[in-house]
Amino acid sequence: MQRAQWPERIAAAREQREATSRTRVMRKVTHRDGARCEVDGRKLLNFCGNDYLGLSQHFAVVGALQDAVSREGAGGVASHLVCGHHALHEALEREVADWLGSPRALLFSSGFMANLAAVQGLLGEDDVCVQDRLNHASLIDAARLSGCRLRRYPHADAEGAIRQLRSVPDGMAMIATDGVFSMDGDIAPLRDLALIARAQKALLYVDDAHGVGVLGPEGRGSVPAVKLSVREVPLQLVTFGKALGSYGAALHGDADIIGHLAETARSHIYTTALPPGQAAATLAAVKLARQEHWRREKLGELVQRFREGARKLGLELAPSSTPIQPVICGDDARAMGMARSLEESGYWVVAIRPPTVPEGRARLRVTLSALHAPAEVDGLLDALARAAERAGLSREALRAELRATPTP
């Protein structure tokens, strides 16, 4: 037997990425000042981050972090179940649960770890997890690592979800979906999925990383936005690194489910707790998100302004009412060329390509923040118009390309 050699495999994979315009390079940010940042020595206006409410540098958030670190130190010390569970962690869990209308919340170091906990902690090899085809990678990986049967339905297709559930009639069942889809910005059909979950005796789990802080009353997310509660959606995810501008995540929902995960979820038990200072920063951010409604109102106005401007320019947008506004480019090289053109004009917008998005649907993922001014959105639109003209992007040609590409 002749084993394959790692250097050859890695080199071949690299050549393939280069040939298809899919190389990925980390950019170095040396300074941030609101929505402006210095990237590899260039000053750019950031339209690709997830700081939707503009809280990451808020003086109250930063001050809470500094004060807690000066008193409690920089590290989490140990896992929550050993000696790492601090009073600040408990205060944050209570605040999150109260804000989001759940009996209990449980902290995690990241949304990825929380998704692993939710699926691995509740499903085994005899069970089934039914997921939207465009779910975040962490949900898909969580199902694969749990050993359960993973079934995926066409994007936002509730009838597809029920067909997949009926194809596996035995074992425990979970429907898992993003609330707001991170690359398209659209919202899952949550009311339909809740009805299906009830009829099929399945647990509905919503990863609302990009919905909490932005949608619903008090920014409570996509689930309250459609008047659903923990009764219909017993388990949800909130991340702190998006609209809250901090770091970490929490699962929240039914008290018995959260209690079970606190004692059994491997990604909770076997990892160091968040630093108490980080919990203090997030606690301050949650309070701001609850109180300062003007941030969501301004964000909504900017989204509408961008969409109206893009429509007048003939750009192809995904059907999104959230701060995630993808400009569909189709071809990978075209998306990369437009991103470079925008950067030359002083705007930082990242080109998103497969496998993050489906084949033939590369896009510029424009994200808006309460930190942006209306004039800055107008400037981005002008730069997009020039980039599209330079790339030869026409709506008619693009739509013909997309029609020839299978729907995910």
Structure-model confidence comparison of residues 169 and 380, the more confident one: 380
For residue 347, name the pLDDT band (cuts at 50, 70, 90): very high
**pLDDT > 70: percent of the chain:** 97
Number of domains in the chain: 2
Distance of CA 141 to the CA centre of its chain: 15
Average pLDDT over residues 29-35: 95
Query: Cβ(23)–Cβ(333) under 8 Å?
Result: no
Question: Do 231 and 335 lie in a common domain?
Answer: no
Mean pLDDT, the chain, rounded, equals: 95
Question: Do 205 and 108 lie in a common domain?
Answer: yes
pLDDT for 395: 66
Question: Do 87 and 45 lie in a common domain?
Answer: no
How many angstroms separate the CA atoms of 109 and 283, rounded? 15
The last residue of a domain, from among 252, 269, 291: 291
For residue 24, name the pLDDT band (cuts at 50, 70, 90): confident
Continuous segment of H or E residues that includes residue 344? helix 332-344
Query: Cβ(234)–Cβ(259) under 8 Å?
Result: no
Question: Do 281 and 341 lie in a common domain?
Answer: no
Question: Do 158 and 188 lie in a common domain?
Answer: yes
Task: Confirm whether 154 is domain-assigned.
Answer: yes
Domain that holds residue 226: 59-291
Question: Do 281 and 140 lie in a common domain?
Answer: yes
Of 48, 51, 53, nearest to 366 (Cα)? 48
pLDDT per residue over 187-210, tens digit each?
999 999 999 999 999 999 999 999
Token pair 């035995």: residue? 170
Average pLDDT over residues 83-93: 97
Numbered residues of the known binding site for pyridoxal 5'-phosphate: 111-112, 182, 210, 239
Q: What is the CATH number of the domain that holds 36?
A: 3.90.1150.10
Task: Confirm whether 82 is domain-assigned.
Answer: yes
Question: Do 276 and 355 lie in a common domain?
Answer: no
Question: Do 147 and 262 lie in a common domain?
Answer: yes
Question: Do 88 and 198 lie in a common domain?
Answer: yes
pLDDT for 399: 67
pLDDT per residue over 294-339, tens digit each?
999 999 999 999 999 999 998 989 899 999 999 999 889 899 999 9
Average pLDDT over residues 231-251: 98
Numbered residues of the known binding site for substrate: 24, 136, 356
The last residue of a domain, from among 240, 267, 291: 291
How many angstroms separate the CA atoms of 292 and 274, rounded? 26
Q: What is the pTM of this model?
A: 0.94
pLDDT per residue over 165-178, tens digit each?
999 989 999 999 99
Euclidean distance between the first and final Cα of the chain, in Å?
A: 39
Question: Do 64 and 163 lie in a common domain?
Answer: yes
Average pLDDT over residues 98-102: 98
Question: Do 311 and 394 lie in a common domain?
Answer: yes
pLDDT for 136: 97
CA atoms within 13 A on the CB side of 96: 29
pLDDT for 245: 98
Task: Confirm whether 357 is domain-assigned.
Answer: yes
Distance of CA 300 to the CA centre of its chain: 18
Task: Confirm whether 198 is domain-assigned.
Answer: yes
The last residue of a domain, from among 239, 256, 291: 291
**pLDDT > 90: percent of the chain:** 87
Task: Confirm whether 18 is domain-assigned.
Answer: no
Average pLDDT over residues 366-385: 97
Question: Do 38 and 82 lie in a common domain?
Answer: no
Task: Confirm whether 10 is domain-assigned.
Answer: no
Would the pLDDT of 408 be above 90?
A: no
Query: Cβ(216)–Cβ(208) under 8 Å?
Result: no
Q: What is the CATH number of the domain that holds 145?
A: 3.40.640.10
How many angstroms separate the CA atoms of 305 and 73, rounded? 44
pLDDT for 396: 66
- Please give the single-letter amino acid code of residue 151: R
Query: Cβ(196)–Cβ(157) under 8 Å?
Result: no
Would the pLDDT of 405 be above 90?
A: no
Please, what's the b/e burial string for 217-254 (b: 16 or more CB within 10 A of its CB; e: otherwise)? eebbbbbbbbebebebbbbbbbbbbbbbbbbbbbbbbb
Task: Confirm whether 367 is domain-assigned.
Answer: yes
Task: Confirm whether 14 is domain-assigned.
Answer: no
